[in-house]
Amino acid sequence: MNVLIDNFDTYAQGFLGTVELTVYSSVLALVLGFVMASFRVAPIGSLRMFGTAWVTVLRNTPLTLLFFAVLLGLPRFGLVLPFEVFAVLALGCYTSAFICEALRSGINTVPKGQGEAARSLGMTFGQSLSLVVLPQAFRSVIPPVGSTLIALAKNSAIAGAFSVTELLGTYKTLSELGYNIVWTFVWIAVGYLIITLSISALFHLMERHWGVAR
């Protein structure tokens, strides 16, 4: 317990850093995932190709490699931003590929007649997707999207290797101070458990209100 009490500020700073990374990256992943899912089911071939390429590349690229590409590659092209922003970009873009596939699977569960009926009423593709198809698809994808965001929270640990303040990185400071490494990691694990259980509880409530009854 002394490890936590004596270094509460260090743990709190790392915990808040992980929470911020998770929140900002989740928002970016959800927005990009929605856009790419729309592209993948669009009637325009070029958009479908772009969405497919986005998902294929990001899903098959190791996240650590993506961090290197974003944090070390983009500055070479003149884009200089805080490392926290680069970390959000890497996490958000990577996770968006999985969000996209979850949303696309939900879209495929909606009967085609729903979209055809919307178009027969004069709705455009965007209107039928956003007003008719996605609201129905959303109900069936709440669990997989929640699981994906939980994975994002744990993946944020990679950011600590790139000078970004987050929870796992606190072990370096405490190890240098001579604290027991086992108890150091125990409290780090507790911190991640709080974050992931909070996300799980949130999506459980959403599923109870809007989810499809099984």
pLDDT digits (tens, 9 = 90+) for 151-201: 999 999 898 888 788 888 787 777 766 667 777 788 888 889 999 999 999
Dist CA 79 CA 124 (whole Å): 37
3-state secondary structure of 144: helix
The band of 148, judged by pLDDT with boundaries at 50, 70 and 90, is very high
**Rounded to whole angstroms, what are the CA distances from 203 to 47, 146, 210?**
30, 6, 10
Query: What is residue 159's DSSP assignment?
Result: G
**H/E run at residue 151:** helix 134-155
pTM, rounded to two decimals? 0.87
Query: What is the pLDDT, as a whole number, of residue 62?
Result: 93
Burial label for 35, CB within 10 Å (0-12, 13-18, 19+), is middle
Q: Which of 30, 34, 58, 37 is nearest to 104 (CA)?
A: 37
